[in-house]
Structure 1
Amino acid sequence: MVSDTTPPPGRRPGPKPRLSRERIVEAALGLGIEQVSINAVASALGAAPASLYRYIDSLDDLLFAALERAFAHAPLPSGEQGWRPYLETEATTRFELLTRYAGLLTDGTGGLETAAVRRFEQVVEGLVPLGFGVDDAVLAVDAVLDLIHDGAAQIAHLRARGHGDPAAQPFESPDVSAAFRRIQDAPRDHLWRKLAIVLDGLAVRQSGGTPSALLARS
């Protein structure tokens, strides 16, 4: 009689996988931050959930490590095309990270402080050779990243609650209500228009102009 050597359901043949903190973090990123649980990561690695705790302290520890890795490993922008494309590229990278990993929005950099500070410093350092003093470089990067972070949070909020009833808009003016509805329909486009205004202001500042000079052009 031939014996059945098929492994029981839920068990995988072969040696148990070698675990490491790095492999566990990579598996969490592969699942997507919003889908991470100890059981899901363990299943992806073919390991017992309890075995993960030799390398991580808790689910929060794993989430912070995964988000920090995503943050720290995002490519830095190139300054070859000038300061404006440089900042636009960093804005796009940050927006994509915030959109893909919601934990970056809710964390407030508490668990990501080291990665966030180093990233900020690197972007500032890359902007200085493009014609910015250190103080203005810090101001420019801070303004752009604040705008992107706030915009990504607003977009996430809109997506979470849906557009709602157009008739429930709080504006009395039909034109303003229609304009606000267009923002709801294309929030990323609206965010990038706001970014353009910030960068236009930086261009005037860099040329030695004043805000009134920018208004005179419009």
Structure 2
Amino acid sequence: MTERVVAPDARRRRRPTKQGVVLSEELIVATALRLIEEHGAEALSVRRLGRALGADPSSLYRYFRHTDDLMLAIADELIGRTLRAWRPTGDWLADLRELGLRMHAGALAHPRAAILSAYRVTGRVHEIQAVETILGVLRGAGFPDPEAVRIYHAFVDQTLAFGALDSAHVALPKAAREAEAEVWRTTYGTLPAATHPHVAATARYLRESMRHSSYPAALDLLLDAAAARLAAVGGRTDG
């Protein structure tokens, strides 16, 4: 897609496509998301999207100005899917932990899209809702505004970074993932204590731990630090 502006009142297509469906932003985003997972970033082309939708490629400009506009919509949809599946309980620690785990799981469910979108700022409805919601949880817990923003920033960046990191690993061919996991047994597990005493002493734990994402542990460390910080500034830590 290249830059092209279509008047808002002319954007919605009323006639069905060749496949008998009426185009919408939601349909285009869902189709693009599927194609990205199947083919990677190269799937975001007008020609490929038009073919998948059974529509004239030029009709996509009624909804998105260019591929980056579409990419931001995809990023926002991933956020929206997480928010729709999350229900706050009023316990700020439990709520943020659950939200973080859902965000991470959402990235792994769409690893190629997560890699492409983790570093983007969409300014769209679901992202705005997420910012408002997380800040509300933190301010409701008693964090002063500067602390609420500081912890919000760390929480979101940590989650997105792990989502991208683990998504990149998931996107590897299965044989490559298995080969890398074996390195912890065949290389690190055989290093002698005489030359690498710390690796040798912890080899069995490394072999098990390094096969899995460290995000849950990192999230707990961050939330523990946030709770300690809240106690230091006089807020409540019991949820």
Same fold? TM cut 0.5 = yes
Change in CA separation of 1:48 and 1:58 when aligned onto 2, cut-off 3 Å: same
Q: CA RMSD, aligned part only?
A: 3.4
Q: Which has the larger radius of gyration?
A: 1
Cα distance, 1:63 vs structure 2: 2.6
Q: 1:151 aligns with which of 162, 175, 190?
A: 162
Aligned mates of 1:152, 1:50 — CA distance in 2? 34
**Contact 1:79/1:127 (8 A) holds in 2:** no
Structure 2 regions of 5+ residues with no counterpart? 1-15, 234-239
2:223 maps to which residue?
199
Percent of matched pairs sharing the same residue? 21
1:27 aligns with 2:69: no
1:132-189 deviations in Å (ceiling 9; x for gaps): 22222222222222322232233234442524233344973223343332232222xx
Equivalent position amino acid for 1:103 in 2: A
Between Structure 1 and Structure 2, how many residues are aligned? 195
Structure 1 regions of 5+ residues with no counterpart? 1-11, 210-218
* Structural mapping, 1:76-155, within 5 Å: 78-101=87-110, 102-107=112-117, 109-110=119-120, 112-114=122-124, 116=127, 119-155=130-166
Equivalent position amino acid for 1:96 in 2: A
Cα distance, 1:124 vs structure 2: 0.7
1:62 maps to which residue?
70
Cα distance, 1:40 vs structure 2: 4.9
Cα distance, 1:34 vs structure 2: 2.4
1:7 maps to which residue?
none
**Contact 2:75/2:118 (8 A) holds in 1:** no
Aligned mates of 2:226, 2:17 — CA distance in 1? 60
Q: 1:71 aligns with which of 65, 69, 79?
A: 79
Aligned mates of 2:91, 2:220 — CA distance in 1? 15
**Contact 1:42/1:49 (8 A) holds in 2:** yes
1:29-55 deviations in Å (ceiling 9; x for gaps): 4x2642344455434433233433443
1:42-75 deviations in Å (ceiling 9; x for gaps): 3443323343344333434323222223324532
Calculate the TM-score normalised by the size of structure 1.
0.69
Aligned mates of 2:101, 2:162 — CA distance in 1? 12
Aligned mates of 2:167, 2:74 — CA distance in 1? 20
Change in CA separation of 1:113 and 1:174 when aligned onto 2, cut-off 3 Å: farther
Aligned mates of 2:149, 2:61 — CA distance in 1? 40
